[in-house]
Structure 1
Amino acid sequence: MARSSFLFTSESVSEGHPDKVADQISDAVVDLFLSKDPEARVACETLTTTNRVVLAGEVRGLGMIDTDGNWAPGAQEEIQTVVRETVKRIGYEQDGFHWQNLHFENHLHPQSAHIAQGVDASGNKDEGAGDQGIMFGYATDETPDLMPATLYYSHKILERMAADRHSGKAPFLEPDAKSQVTLAYENEIPVRATALVVSTQHAVDYCTPWESDGEKGGDAAKYAVLRGYVVGVFNEILPQGFITNETVIHVNPTGRFEIGGPDGDAGVTGRKIIVDTYGGASPHGGGAFSGKDPTKVDRSAAYITRYLAKNIVAAGLARRCTIQLSYAIGVAEPLSVYVDLHGTGTVDESVIEAVLADSAKLGFRLTPRGIRTHLGLNKPIYQRSAAYGHFGRQPDADGGFSWEKTDLVGALKAAV
């Protein structure tokens, strides 16, 4: 029997976290390739560390690199430019990590012919999945964006802090930060915050005041400004009444966080998959999103399952919904469709499973090309998704976050 009263926690990381820097660089490369060739193939991994960015992976795309492995004139320079521009936009101009001074290495190479032959359409063969795997989508009515509340507020806290850093409102903040939100649920509804945590990179002397082994801590007045600012963000982001006298609040509990970002810890693409999705409130198939073009079902099928789950909840067919799809590399149709409404459904799961298994009745197929066509994924729309979550965002006019639309509500209601 499902529990109705409990504590649950999710975390988020800022755009300046080393892993998120890597994700944003990888997706900047994806966007560059797709801007030249909507059918480009990209699998780009990024490593960030002290004043160094390294790219590796497999690529293919007109205007960038051909199947013989020859780079187009100026293509490698374009890649380096988008890498440095990404780091600059995030705000890294530090001695240990600077957009202008970092050492850059590009080890991207042509896509494997053996992968291409399984994925590409040819003759009577439809385009196959770019890899095997399982993908999950989730939605819940806890927030207006149909996301788990703990993750929703964790993201919003860091988004606000980043906006204030960029605008100059909070000049003592540096790019690297993490947040964590613990909420108490009663009757499956979030009602109050029991613990809130932010660890943020900061300017010199904004650490906690302390004395240890002769080492001087920070300035008490400056730390009070930092803590007061973060607590103010908590109060602005969380619903009124969620923060009480019993809420435990930690702001930079280690005391000092001046060295951060890739200088403080190496970053790698794809290490924040729970932050990217549902904060632990839903299962995860294990595949990362960033650095992959949309033929990779790790990305596109995760987007379509979120789209379906969100529309099911928006249609009032359930208050919570989890959907799983599975694929085999080179095979177009999914191998399985699974739906769990967590006891909140107004119809049986098997009814929805039957509808999704015959998704052509909804206007599209759950094949890689069917997903990409329905959601319009062959566009340079991915770098914006690589920080503060791929889900729970507002659809953009240019097609970004198309998987967040609720335009399937009417068709689902009619189908069930």
Structure 2
Amino acid sequence: MSRRYLFTSESVSDGHPDKLADRISDAILDRCLEFEPMARVAIETLIAPHLVVAGEIGFPTALRHAQVLEEIPGIARNVLLDTGYSQFFPGIDPDECEILVRVNHQSPQIARAVERAGDEYGAGDQGLMFGHACDETRSLMPLPIHLAHQLMMRHRELRNSRALPWLRPDAKAQVTVRYEDEVPVAVETVVLSTQHDENVSSEIVNQSVIRELIEPVIPEALRSETIRYLINPAGRFEIGGPQADAGLTGRKIIVDTYGGRCPHGGGAFSGKDPTKVDRSAAYAARWVAKHLVAAGLARRATIQLAYAIGRPDPVSLLVDTHGTGTVPDETLEHAVRKTFDISVAGILNDLYLQIQNYYDTAAFGHFGREDIRLPWESTPRIRQLQDAAGTPMR
């Protein structure tokens, strides 16, 4: 029985207050991992419009902990400057904003649970994580979130190049796609709200955003005959960034993942070191799901993993191909277990998670990225997975 429906996903710019908070948290994480690849980090940032950086860091020495605490204000100010905020743009002043640092040492009880004997690690917390892949785009991501991210990346490009000099850092994009029989066939609506200079007219904003930002991203063949463009539908958007809205780490978890096209376990990524399975297991689940689709074993795949704090192996693994698998899902589950080591240590080692640059993932999504190299987006085990599933490459 055929079915038609609309599905919508959104993305936000790197200057959105919540993304600023994510990026500051990940910039601090990266600095900690530079000092010590096995540092334990859980950093939260609040911007409103001054900053509070709080959380826990675990280092072998107190001296290193004190050094990072001293560097945090400078790291935060550099992120704001890198995003384009200044005293001249309403939003936040990187030089004058107050920054409070409230970072403790990691609980020794949690540290003992994570640091097991030998090369084994326990999960830094309990929880459930999902990964997803589908054949709707070259990156094996759902089309609505893929296009929404592309719009926000185009926004940054136009802002940085000064092609549209009145663009300001805070923005959101929302893309509605029509599906027929689970296949995306047309973009029906694009909503794009962007902060802008007070001296530019609403007419210029509307026309330029459509011509210079949206149309280069949305292929003409994908545009519905009745496509709607809603530009700044609330009206003027001069005051933005943290001056208009508070930002908080971990408040854009659907933007960070699949735009709502698969379930979410609720755990955020940014500011967390990779022993926290909220982050590392979500990356592993995407890696597995992408292999399944890239190997031709399914057109769409969702993976669920769940862990108990202090335990190295998942307490559960689910493979769901939504009826698109070439063999039963139970067979694929066995093949996944045979092909991938989804223990905490296995994930850390196979995906090189202790030497990643997490700052680059904190805006425009953690998955489906083609502008940066991410190990969980590679598919080196296709042949191995096909053999394990009993469907070797012809």
Does TM, normalized by the shorter one, top 0.5? Answer: yes
Contact 1:30 1:380 in 2 (8 A): no
Contact 2:19 2:247 in 1 (8 A): yes
**1:121 pairs with 2:128:** no
Name the amino acid aligned to 1:314.
Answer: A
Query: Cα RMSD over matched residues?
Result: 1.6
Name the amino acid aligned to 1:26.
Answer: S
Equivalent residue, structure 2, for 1:97: 92
- Structure 1 residue corresponding to 2:132, chosen from 134, 138, 145: 138
- Structure 2 residue corresponding to 1:191, chosen from 175, 178, 185: 185
Contact 1:337 1:356 in 2 (8 A): no
Name the amino acid aligned to 1:249.
Answer: Y
For 1:343 and 1:230, the matched residues in 2 are separated by 40
Equivalent residue, structure 2, for 1:215: none
- Structure 1 residue corresponding to 2:298, chosen from 318, 332, 340: 318
CA spacing shift, 1:251–1:38, aligned 2, 3 Å: same
CA spacing shift, 1:96–1:157, aligned 2, 3 Å: closer
For 2:214 and 2:84, the matched residues in 1 are separated by 23
- Structure 2 residue corresponding to 1:231, chosen from 195, 210, 213: 210
Contact 1:134 1:285 in 2 (8 A): yes
**1:392 pairs with 2:368:** yes
TM-superposed deviation, 1:408: 1.6
Equivalent residue, structure 1, for 2:51: 53
For 2:224 and 2:365, the matched residues in 1 are separated by 27
For 2:150 and 2:371, the matched residues in 1 are separated by 17
Equivalent residue, structure 1, for 2:242: 262
Poorly superposed stretches of 4+, deviation over 6 Å: none
Equivalent residue, structure 1, for 2:375: 402
Aligned residues: 386
Indicate the SS of the match to 1:114: helix
For 1:162 and 1:285, the matched residues in 2 are separated by 30
TM-superposed deviation, 1:74: 4.1
**1:107 pairs with 2:83:** no
CA spacing shift, 1:194–1:96, aligned 2, 3 Å: closer
Equivalent residue, structure 2, for 1:209: none
Name the amino acid aligned to 1:121.
Answer: R
Indicate the SS of the match to 1:201: strand
Contact 1:395 1:402 in 2 (8 A): no
Equivalent residue, structure 1, for 2:232: 252
Indicate the SS of the match to 1:97: coil
For 1:315 and 1:245, the matched residues in 2 are separated by 35
**1:180 pairs with 2:153:** no
For 1:7 and 1:337, the matched residues in 2 are separated by 30
Equivalent residue, structure 2, for 1:357: 337
For 2:28 and 2:323, the matched residues in 1 are separated by 42
Contact 2:58 2:65 in 1 (8 A): no
- Structure 2 residue corresponding to 1:204, chosen from 173, 198, 209: 198
- Structure 2 residue corresponding to 1:271, chosen from 227, 233, 251: 251
- List runs of 5+ in structure 1 lacking aligned partners: 207-221
Identity of aligned residues (%): 47
- List runs of 5+ in structure 2 lacking aligned partners: 390-394
For 2:292 and 2:91, the matched residues in 1 are separated by 47
**1:85 pairs with 2:65:** no
TM-superposed deviation, 1:230: 1.5
Instruction: Write the deviation string for residues 319-370 of structure 1: whole angstroms up to 9, x where unpaired.
Output: 0000001100000010011010011111110011112234xxx2x5211111
TM-score by length of 2: 0.94
Contact 1:395 1:404 in 2 (8 A): no
For 2:337 and 2:383, the matched residues in 1 are separated by 18
TM-superposed deviation, 1:18: 0.4
TM-superposed deviation, 1:380: 4.1
For 2:68 and 2:259, the matched residues in 1 are separated by 37
Contact 2:32 2:68 in 1 (8 A): no
> 91-100 vs 268-277, which deviates more?
91-100
